[in-house]
Amino acid sequence: MNLIELNAIAKKMVAPGKGILAADESTGTIKKRFDKIGVENTEDNRRDYREMMFRTPVMKQHISGVILYDETIRQKARDGTTLVKLIQDADSIPGIKVDAGAKKLAGAPNETITEGLDGLRERYQEYHKLGARFAKWRGVYEIAEGNPSHDAIHANAHALARYAALAQENGIVPIVEPELLMDGAHTIEACEGVTEWILKEVFQELYYAGVKLEGIILKPNMIVPGMKCVQQNSVEEVAQRTVTVLKRCVPAAVPGIAFLSGGQSDLDATAHLDAMNKIGGLPWALTFSYGRALQAAPQAAWAGKVDNVAKAQAAFTHRARMNGLAALGKWDSAAEKNAS
């Protein structure tokens, strides 16, 4: 393992004013997104849609890396250029989702364990040849009826650690993504308590697995109430609680934290990130690794039509710029209104 190289990649992923585009939707997930905009889920449509984003000039200014799905890392643009090259030409880093998804965890009703460790060393070697310099693995947890259990928290932390150790062994920076879902009616206090527990376990397992923290990026949920909770909290409270939990759990050796949006509105995801960066004095860079909060607007504008490409690129540009500002703590609602 070359920790100096891993650290350089990780730092580039969280460079000031830049963040990560999570475009790693599996075929089933992108189908759900395409269904909403009336687009057929074909290989060509998936390619056209992603090519449209990767060719947007804003990539160079605000997108430090793109998380790809196995199909996408092998795809070519219409003119035959690989999509990986389009990303590299934008001075952005190609990354790859390597987990095989969350499956039922035996003995733990309604809980999941993320699978995909078998053969992962060989897959990393192939993905590295294809241009990937970072990877992503997502553990999923939900607050409901006594869950999450210690078993689910521990099993997912252990899998995340084994995934991360193998990534570093192969010259790839692991994005470690433990996601406590926003589904449900739980309070912000419940989210705070459970997230703290999850992160403590994750960092304990990373330590046992010999993962070097200078060569990882953490991708956590923010501390927010469940979507169905009657009491919704202010932007400042979400920011304050999220930073508090992170300070309790994430060692300063970690170069950066790139949040998932998790079903927040585009505006909330931007405002929360901005408010955290306005707090300042933090030991790690805080930025975005958004899927929905970067793509919902361009998807709606595109709707699968060639004539809408410019409109969709403008929508993507706007969200990337707004989140780029939020990563610096320089966003405000006036900037939000100045879509150009």
Estimate the crossing angle of helix 292-302 against helix 266-279, to 10 degrees: 150
**Is 213 buried (19+), middle (13-18) or exposed (0-12) by CB count in 10 A?**
buried
CB 117, min distance to ligand 5MM, A: 16
Copy the structure tokens of residue 10.
């990780």
CB 201 within 8 A of CB 180: no
65 touching ligand 5MM, by CB under 6 A: no
CB 24, min distance to ligand 5MM, A: 5
Complex with ligand 5MM: residue 138 or 321, whichever CB lies closer: 138
260 touching ligand 5MM, by CB under 6 A: yes
CB 221, min distance to ligand 5MM, A: 8
d(CA 217, CA 164): 10
292 touching ligand 5MM, by CB under 6 A: yes
Per annotation, catalytic residue among 25, 111, 177, 179: 177
d(CA 215, CA 174): 8
CB 262, min distance to ligand 5MM, A: 4
d(CA 203, CA 221): 15
Q: Which of 22, 59, 143, 194 binds ligand 5MM (CB under 6 A)?
A: 22
138 touching ligand 5MM, by CB under 6 A: yes
Per annotation, catalytic residue among 12, 97, 136, 219: 219
CB 175 within 8 A of CB 137: yes
Angle at alpha carbon of residue 30, lines to 104 and 226, rounded to 5°:
60
Which of 160-168, 224-232, 291-299, 306-314 is the region at the interface with ligand 5MM (rule: CB under 6 A)?
Answer: 291-299
Catalytic residue check, 219: yes
333 touching ligand 5MM, by CB under 6 A: no
132 touching ligand 5MM, by CB under 6 A: no
Three-state secondary structure call for residue 135: strand
Which of 2-10, 155-163, 228-236, 290-298 is the region at the interface with ligand 5MM (rule: CB under 6 A)?
Answer: 290-298
Of 132, 138, 137, 29, the C-alpha closest to 87 is 132
Of 274, 305, 264, the C-alpha closest to 19 is 274
CB 7, min distance to ligand 5MM, A: 23
CB 140 within 8 A of CB 105: no
Which of 11-19, 44-52, 104-112, 255-263 is the region at the interface with ligand 5MM (rule: CB under 6 A)?
Answer: 255-263
Provide the CA 19 distance to its chain's centre, in angstroms.
9
Q: Which sequence positions are flagged as catalytic? A: 177, 219
Query: Interface with ligand 5MM by CB under 6 A: which residues?
Result: 22, 24-26, 29, 67, 101, 138, 179, 260-262, 290-293
